[in-house]
Amino acid sequence: MNTKHTPRDQRGTTMREFRILSPLTAKELPMVFISHTATEIDRIVSKSNQAFEIYRQLSGKEKSLFLKEIAVQLIAERESIISQCAKETGLPIPRLIAEFDRTIHQLHLYGDLVYEGSWVNARIDRADPLRQPIPKPDVRQMQIPLGPVGVFCASNFPLAFSVAGGDTVSALAAGCSVVVKGHSAHLGTAHVVVGAIKEAAQRMGLPEGLVELVQGMGKDVGIELVTNPAIKAIGFTGSTQGGLAISKTAAERPEPIPVYAEMGSVNPVFILPEAMQENGEGIAEGLAASATLSVGQFCTNPGLTITLAEHAGPFMKRLKTHFETVPWGTMLTLDIKKAYDEGIERILGIKGVELIASGAVTDTPFGGTAYLLHTKAETLLDNHELMEEVFGPETLVVTCTDKGQLLAVAAALHGSLTGTIHGTSKDVAEYDDLRRILEGKVGRLVFNGFPTGVEVCHSMVHGGPFPATSDAKFTSVGTMAIYRFTRPICYQSCPKDLLPKELHDDNPLGICRLIDGKFTKDILLNFKKGGNMP
Ligand code: NAP
């Protein structure tokens, strides 16, 4: 954590106070934060639960207006958010501007989704009282919100995956309230952002407590949040260790709850023979840029590159030249920097792994150096720790003797967020087995591109089998992420006036519904013929 107790803490009088270290100067920033106690967290969650009971009754159009009002308030605070965030994270301003814009885009995307309304996945099976041997009842289904959601801010996405980020916004769109656990790397930013959300809620006449922030030194605050009985789901982005600890805690509650944890991912990139021969140097350029982007601190960072040894010469040469010229960069936290250095040391300690190139070196406490490493397929297959994420600007190139060995490497890999194939049409036809293997390993297959840069859209899957995430059935980016925070409810033979509008016969919201097995926006014109609503 980028935190340090104040001197008064050591005297035992203000143990709840802490400050954040600037990654740029390694010195304390002026803001003082106070750790929340268990009692305070309980009060905050209880406020969130009260807000949920009101908020869940809002129409899609009202929720849409709220999400868009949050965007308005964030834009009003844009300068202070970006400047505070730059001080706390050391991330360059252009990167933060791009992330801010993505945050606003997410709010509009979800706002539009819930305004249109079909996302609730309404289904109607009409009654058939004359059916033999037993009458068929009227059965209707749609998605409803789970309840207050706990969201852990991501160290590496202080805006787009933190207080007003993807987890929070998808939960709000679903109709849930949110209690955010601020990340110690950017707590000042979290305060400005939560203030903007509260302003939006106030302007809309919505209850206080829709989005709350908890913070503190150590793991206790997160655990208090996860174990609070009013919390009904968790969104998490961070380490495998942290994600597993939180999942275990959630599973051991008297009422277990789902944890949607995004954790470690190596994002393998496969370069097939003809593509290598035709464009090896071009691929090397793109790969080096992707692996070192933002000091490698992206969950989609390509940590493993797999190719045949034959024809790889010019590719390796270009990759080496590129890595040698990469400047050092400021990493987000001392823990991340430490984990990165230890990871590189661990890999280099494995017999058969060689260092091909390194970028500029620094003794700055938060400074991270880019590394290009190489090994042969047999070494990787004998040392499974080489398949684990090392979070930072490195990639390990694995060379194989033939197609069989390349497929064996693919088959041995753990789950990842992405898998990339560089290949000509001849390559991809010849290596169709590779596509099939990767389909079982990743959430997103990229062809002739690079995994960093996640489009926020309706079709995106930012998920994947363990250890990439704790639940491969869901995505944390894109509008499908809303389903992490909802559940289906079914109404059988329900009186008409008790049904939610989404399930009314006359489809007053004009949404797309599955009626008797067919998707339609139609109203139930013929309902009376076959049905018997009370
Ligand atoms: P982290 O250490 O897992 O922390 C993430 C959040 O979870 C923090 O708020 C942390 O609280 C909390 N936390 C961690 N362990 C916990 C536990 N046992 N119980 C309760 N709360 C817990 O992740 P990080 O600080 O973001 O970065 C550390 C490492 O995570 C990186 O080196 C990298 O390997 C990985 N990472 C991966 C991704 C990805 O998308 N794949 C993204 C970011 C980081 P405190 O801060 O208060 O301790």
pLDDT, tens only, 348-387 = 999 999 999 999 999 999 999 999 999 999 999 999 999 9
Which residues, in sequence order, are CB contacts of 359 under 8 Å at separation 6+? 292, 323, 324, 325, 326, 327, 328, 369, 370, 371, 393
As a whole number of angstroms, the distance between CA 97 and CA 78 comes to: 9
For atom 13 of ligand 1, the residue with the nearest CA is 242
As a whole number of angstroms, the distance between CA 184 and CA 221 comes to: 12
Tokens linked to 36: 């929340």
Average pLDDT over residues 407-414: 98
Who has greater pLDDT, 231 or 528? Answer: 231
For atom 14 of ligand 1, the residue with the nearest CA is 242
Q: Are 225 and 257 in contact (CB under 8 A)?
A: no
Question: Binning pLDDT at 50, 70 and 90, where does residue 73 land?
Answer: very high
Task: Give the atom of ligand 1 at the shortest distance from the alpha carbon of 181.
Answer: 9
Would you call 13 exposed, middle or buried from its count of C-beta atoms within 10 A (0-12, 13-18, 19+)? exposed
Summarised one tens digit per residue, pLDDT across range 1-20 is 555 444 344 434 356 899 99
Characterize the bridge pairing of strands 233-237 and 259-262: parallel
Please state, for a pLDDT cut of 70, what percent of the chain lies above it.
95
Tokens linked to 17: 């106070």
For the question of residue 457 being annotated catalytic, the response is no
Tokens linked to 132: 């033999």
Angstrom distances, CA of residue 210 to CA of 52, 90, 171: 7, 30, 11
Average pLDDT over residues 329-354: 97
Name the DSSP letter for residue 12. Answer: T
Residues in contact with ligand 1 (CB, 6 Å cut-off): 1, 152, 154-156, 181, 183-184, 219, 222-223, 237-239, 242, 245-246, 262-265, 299, 333, 335-336, 339, 389, 391
The pLDDT, as a whole number, for residue 3 is 56
The pLDDT, as a whole number, for residue 529 is 45
Angstrom distances, CA of residue 63 to CA of 114, 160, 200: 7, 19, 12
Sign of CA dihedral 221, 223, 228, 230: positive
DSSP of 428-495: HHHTHHHHHHHHTTEEEEEESS-S-S---STT-----TTTTBS-TT--SSSGGGGGGGEEEEEEES--
CA angle 447, 450, 453 (to 5 degrees): 120
Kindly report whether the global pTM for this prediction surpasses the value 0.75: yes
The crossing angle, in degrees rounded to 10, of helices 38-55 and 220-227 is 40
Who has greater pLDDT, 530 or 500? Answer: 500
Average pLDDT over residues 301-312: 96
The pLDDT, as a whole number, for residue 263 is 96
The pLDDT, as a whole number, for residue 244 is 98
Task: Give the atom of ligand 1 at the shortest distance from the alpha carbon of 239.
Answer: 30
Tell me if residue 72 falls in helix, strand or coil: helix
Please give the mean pLDDT across all residues of the chain.
Answer: 95
Question: Binning pLDDT at 50, 70 and 90, where does residue 228 land?
Answer: very high
- Range 229-242 burial, b when 16+ CB lie within 10 A, else e: ebbbbbbbbbbbeb
Query: Ligand 1 center to residue 224 CA distance, Å?
Result: 16
The pLDDT, as a whole number, for residue 16 is 87
Is 70 exceeded by the pLDDT of residue 490? yes
Catalytic residue among 299, 389, 394, 502: 299
| Probe target for ligand 1 pocket from 213, 239, 452, with the most ligand atoms within 8 Å of CB | 239
CA angle 75, 210, 480 (to 5 degrees): 75
Average pLDDT over residues 335-356: 98
Average pLDDT over residues 18-46: 95
The pLDDT, as a whole number, for residue 217 is 80
Query: Ligand 1 center to residue 243 CA distance, Å?
Result: 7
Average pLDDT over residues 12-36: 86
For the question of residue 512 being annotated catalytic, the response is no
As a whole number of angstroms, the distance between CA 24 and CA 362 comes to: 13
Query: Ligand 1 center to residue 365 CA distance, Å?
Result: 19
Tell me if residue 18 falls in helix, strand or coil: strand
Is 90 exceeded by the pLDDT of residue 282? yes
Other C-beta atoms closer than 10 Å to the C-beta of 457 total 11
Name the DSSP letter for residue 496. Answer: G
Question: Binning pLDDT at 50, 70 and 90, where does residue 533 land?
Answer: very low
Tokens linked to 414: 């753990």
Average pLDDT over residues 277-300: 97
Catalytic residue among 262, 389, 394, 502: 262
As a whole number of angstroms, the distance between CA 344 and CA 242 comes to: 20
Query: Ligand 1 center to residue 156 CA distance, Å?
Result: 10
Other C-beta atoms closer than 10 Å to the C-beta of 125 total 17
The pLDDT, as a whole number, for residue 526 is 54
As a whole number of angstroms, the distance between CA 394 and CA 417 comes to: 17
As a whole number of angstroms, the distance between CA 404 and CA 259 comes to: 38
Query: Ligand 1 center to residue 17 CA distance, Å?
Result: 21
Please state, for a pLDDT cut of 90, what percent of the chain lies above it.
93
For atom 37 of ligand 1, the residue with the nearest CA is 238
The pLDDT, as a whole number, for residue 401 is 98
As a whole number of angstroms, the distance between CA 85 and CA 158 comes to: 7
